Amino acid sequence: MKLMFIIAGDEYAADISEKLKEHAFMATEVGSTGDFLQYGQTVLLLGVNEQDCDRILSILDPEADWKGTEHGFPFHEEVSIFVTDVNDYVKVNA
């Protein structure tokens, strides 16, 4: 299992979440603030199977031909994506 962190400007967060939902990927959004007079950033967290990482990266690839296809996303600023290993996963039911 992998944990993906997608860090993007607030103006892209809703569109990124919607694009991921179209492909059955759900993300948790965490807002953050930057320095004075800078736009805020949103961090999207996704727990995914290892084989889904490449698919998610291709969905969000700004270099892809995104018009009329399922892949690619037209970013106009830097979007950082971190992928980390998940050693343990525990789900607690109430």
Domain for residue 16, yes or no? yes
Domain for residue 88, yes or no? no
User: Which one has a higher pLDDT value, 27 or 70?
Assistant: 27
Average pLDDT, the chain: 82
- Spatial distance between the Cα atoms of 84 and 82, rounded to a whole number of angstroms: 7
- Spatial distance between the Cα atoms of 56 and 64, rounded to a whole number of angstroms: 13
> Among 33-37, 50-54, 89-93, which is the least confidently predicted range?
33-37
Domain for residue 75, yes or no? yes
Nearest to 3 by CA among 70, 94, 89: 89
Residue 39 predicted with pLDDT over 70: no
How many domains are there within the chain? 1
Domain containing residue 78: 1-83
Domain for residue 89, yes or no? no
